[in-house]
Each structure stands twice: as C-alpha cells, then as structure tokens.
Structure 1
Amino acid sequence: MRIVSGRLKGRRLIAPKKLPVRPTTDMAKEALFNILNNRLRFQDLDVIDLFAGIGSISFEFMSRGTQRVTAVDANFDCIKFLTKTSEELDLDLNIIKSDVFDFLQKTPLKADLIFADPPYDLPLEEFEQIENSIRERSLLKEDGLLIIEHSKHSNLEHIETYSEQRKYGNSVFSFFKMHS
C-alpha cells in the first residue's frame, strides 16, 4: 500500500501481516480521490474514517492537506499501527479505539465527509445501520458526504440517501448525500 498523492506521495504503508484488514487497493483509492479532487477542497474538510484499519484513507486525506482527520477502529493492533505511523509521518491524526457502531451512537464530532470501509461480509442490515446512525444523529455537516466501500456482491442502492456508486474490480464505493 502506498500514498498515491500529496506531500507524502509514494510513501509505503507496510502493515504487519497479522492485522485483520483488507486495505483499499491503490487503483481504487486513486480513482476515488480523483473523483473527490474534482468536488472538494481537501484543506477545508473534517473527515471521519470508520473501520480505519491501517489508515490508508486517513493518511491519503492528510497527505492532500486535510488537517482534521479522525480514524476509528476497534482493533488494538490497528490502533497501534495508526499511532506509530502517524508519529513517523509527523501527522496529527485523531485516533479513536472504538467499535464503530458505539462510536456513531456517542460521538459529538461532525464531519464534511465520512468514509466507511467495513468488512465486506458485514450483514446488509449493518451497512444500513451505518447510514442510519449518521443520518439520525446528523453527524455530517450541511451537504456532507458519506462513502461506504463494499464488495460488488452488496447492493446499497435502496438506502434513502444513496446517490451513486463507482466500481473498481471487486470494490464498490457507494455515495450518500445528506442534506440538512
């Protein structure tokens, strides 16, 4: 895994083999950030990265100038890796060790963009619960964007705030627009 653009472009993220992660491929990540680059000013964003894993998405945002990024993961070893890597890269990443569903029920944070990359085998109801918690608790700022990465075998088009999706190999990014 590498950071594909920004001031840390080319830096490799080498996670220990034992971590329970499936990082977003460089190709899919590059395509996603090309889409976002045309829609957003990275320096102005508050971003929450749910199921952050090794922080591939968090570090990509920070490399592109986003100052306020919160990475949430429940796995102790992922948190350790995120902490070590953000220190090595001299980044001020806000790292929270928490079950994502608990975090969504309790957090006071609001974001312009929330990215969620849950396990691909998550039951459909739990994908729906992510969107539902974010919408009900108004965790996105006005015209905020939720992006959920999932496998091509999951279909999230029926969710009320769904707006579009992009497919890259086995990965799909579904976009959800929340209006205040």
Structure 2
Amino acid sequence: MRIISGLYKSRKIVAPKNLPVRPTTDMAKESLFNIINNLYYFDDISVLDLFAGTGNISYEFASRGTEQITCVDQDFGCIKFINKTAEAFGMPIQTIKSDVFKFLEKATIQANIIFADPPYNFELEQFSKIPEFVFKNNLLLEDGVLIVEHSKHTNLSSLENFAYSKSYGGNVFSFFEKG
C-alpha cells in the first residue's frame, strides 16, 4: 500500500500480514480522493475513519493536510499499527479501540467526512446501521458526507440519506448526505 498524494506521496506502508484487513486498492483510493478534493479543502476538515484497519485512508488524509483524524477499529493489532505508523510519520491521527457499532451508539464526535470500510461480507442490515447511527446521532458537520466502501455485489441505494455511489473495479463507494 502506498500514499498517493501530499506530503508523504509515494511512501510505502507495509502492514503486518496477520491483520484482519482488506486495504482499499490504490486505484479506488485515488478515484475517491479525486472526488473528495473537489468537495473540500483537506486542511479545513475533520475525518472519522470507521473500521480503520491499516489506517490506509487516514494516512492519505493526513498526507494531504488534514489535522483532525480519528480512527476507530476493534482489532488491537490494527490500532497498534496505526499508532506506530502515525507516530513514525508525525501524522495527527487519534485512535479509538472499539467495536464500531458500540462507538457509534454513544459517539458525540462530529466530522466533515465519515469514512466506513466494514467487512464486505456484511449483510444489508449491518450496513444500514452505519448511516442510521451517523444521522440519528448527528455525527456529520454541516455539508458533511458519510462514505461507505463495499463490494459491487452490495447495493446500498435503498438506505436512508443515500445520495449516490461510484464504482471502481470491485469497489463501490456509497455517499450519504443529510436530507
């Protein structure tokens, strides 16, 4: 995995093989950040990265100048790896070790962008809980967006606050916005 743009452009990050992750591909990540780049100034936003895994998405935000980044993952190995990598690069990334759904139930943190990359084998009911909690608990700031990554075999367009989706190979990013 590599950082595509910004201060740490072209830096490679090698995650331990024993982490239970599926990092976003470079092609999909580059396309996603092209969309985000047209919507926001990276140094003016805050990001909440759910199911953070290796921290791949958070490193990209940090490299582009985002200074308020919070990663949530339930796996201790993932949190440890994110902390180690963020410290090595001097990135402003905070981590929270928690089950994402338990975190979302009680969360008060607000962000401009909430990115969620849950396991691709989630059932629609599990996927639906992500936007449900985000909007019920008012976790998006004004003009904020929730982006959920999932496989092309999952369709989230029936969920409340769904705005649109973009496909890149086997990856799909579904965007949710306040109604």
Report the counterpart of residue 173 of structure 1 in structure 2.
173
Report the counterpart of residue 100 of structure 1 in structure 2.
100
Letter in 1 for 2:146: L
Alpha-carbon distance, 1:167 to partner: 0.5
Report the counterpart of residue 121 of structure 2 in structure 1.
121
Report the counterpart of residue 150 of structure 1 in structure 2.
150
Aligned: 1:88 with 2:88: yes
Report the counterpart of residue 56 of structure 1 in structure 2.
56
**Matched ranges for 1:7-86 at <5 A:** 7-86=7-86
Q: Percent identity?
A: 55
Letter in 2 for 1:9: K
Alpha-carbon distance, 1:107 to partner: 1.6
Alpha-carbon distance, 1:108 to partner: 1.6
Q: Secondary structure at the match of 1:126?
A: helix
Using the size of structure 2 for normalisation, the TM-score is: 0.98
Find runs of 4+ consecutive structure 1 residues off by over 2 angstroms: none
Unaligned runs of 5+ residues in structure 1 are none
Using the size of structure 1 for normalisation, the TM-score is: 0.98
Q: Secondary structure at the match of 2:132?
A: helix
For residues 58 and 133 of structure 1, the distance between their equivalents in structure 2, rounded to whole angstroms, comes to 21
For residues 107 and 161 of structure 1, the distance between their equivalents in structure 2, rounded to whole angstroms, comes to 19
Unaligned runs of 5+ residues in structure 2 are none
Deviations 1:6-50 (A, max 9, x none): 000011110011110000000000000011111111111010000
Letter in 1 for 2:163: S
Q: Give the number of equivalent residue pairs.
A: 179
For residues 13 and 62 of structure 2, the distance between their equivalents in structure 1, rounded to whole angstroms, comes to 14
Maintained 8 Å contact 2:113/2:144: yes
Deviations 1:95-127 (A, max 9, x none): 110000011011220011100000000111011
